[in-house]
């Protein structure tokens, strides 16, 4: 179990999937993420891609996001995520999609309303962060005012830009790094 670090549900415990297949974002990384994002979270749509337990998306809801879409392909993680949503009684503000990335992003159902925040935390041993950012950069969606954040291991090297996404800042956090991109 881990605790949410801020907002309405600060201190509330949520479940994490059993086993090593899912790596929940550390509290320090989540705090750093939301400090960097600031007020843009309030009232916006949040996309938690490779959601796992949903810790980051639930943290966004706790901090005032209007809605969170959770995308997760692992069955055990999705079951845990749904339990956490029920535990926090936020089903009306959450959508869970058992989909694979980056293919789901090409679906006509992916139509974010800007400004939106897209958070991506794929398994570190995959190239999924770069491939997903490439697809996000190819989409002909109006992203004005939106932010995309990729969490990677510290050794991963992402590009300065992906289509209309430009790197604003890279924040190292222990063994991981947060790459914050803004839409041009």
Instruction: Retrieve residue 67's tokens.
Output: 């809605």
Beta bridge partners of 181: 148, 167
Domains and CATH numbers, the chain: 2-183 (3.40.50.150)
Taking residues 10-20, what's their average pLDDT?
Answer: 86
Residue 112's pLDDT is 80
Q: With bands split at pLDDT 50, 70 and 90, how would you rate the model's confidence at 61?
A: very high
Tell me if 19 sits within 8 A of 74, measured CB to CB: no
Q: Is the pLDDT of residue 20 over 70?
A: no
Query: How many C-beta atoms lie closer than 10 Å to residue 35's C-beta?
Result: 10
Residue 151's pLDDT is 95
Percent of the chain surpassing pLDDT 90: 73
Residue 149's pLDDT is 97
Taking residues 127-145, what's their average pLDDT?
Answer: 91
Residues with Cβ within 8 Å of 94's Cβ and at least 6 positions away in sequence, in order, are 57, 61, 67, 68, 69, 70, 85
Residue 21's pLDDT is 58
Residue 52's pLDDT is 92
Regarding beta strands 94-97 and 176-183, do their DSSP bridges make them parallel or antiparallel, or are they unpaired?
unpaired
- Least Cα distance to 56 among 91, 108, 14 occurs for 14
Residue 113's pLDDT is 78
The CA-based dihedral angle spanning residues 130, 131, 135, 137, taken in that order and rounded to the nearest 10 degrees:
20
Q: With bands split at pLDDT 50, 70 and 90, how would you rate the model's confidence at 96?
A: very high
Spatial separation of the C-alpha atoms in residues 120 and 154, rounded to whole Å: 15
């Amino acid at each position: 179990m881990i605790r949410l670090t801020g907002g309405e549900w600060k201190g509330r415990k949520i479940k994490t999937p059993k086993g090593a297949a899912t790596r929940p974002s550390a509290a320090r990384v989540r705090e750093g993420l939301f400090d960097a994002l600031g007020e843009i979270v309030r009232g916006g749509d949040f996309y938690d891609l490779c959601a796992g337990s949903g810790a980051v998306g639930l943290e966004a809801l706790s901090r005032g996001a209007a809605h969170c879409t959770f995308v997760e392909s692992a069955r055990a993680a999705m079951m845990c995520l749904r339990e956490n949503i029920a535990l926090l009684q936020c089903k009306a503000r959450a959508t869970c999609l058992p989909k694979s990335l980056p293919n789901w992003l090409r679906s006509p159902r992916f139509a974010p309303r800007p400004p939106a925040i897209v958070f991506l935390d794929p398994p570190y041993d995959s190239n999924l962060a770069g491939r997903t950012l490439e697809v996000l950069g190819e989409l002909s969606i109006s992203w004005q005012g939106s932010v995309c954040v990729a969490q990677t291991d510290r050794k991963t090297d992402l590009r300065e830009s992906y289509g209309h996404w430009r790197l604003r800042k890279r924040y190292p956090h222990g063994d991981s790094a947060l790459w914050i991109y803004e839409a041009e």
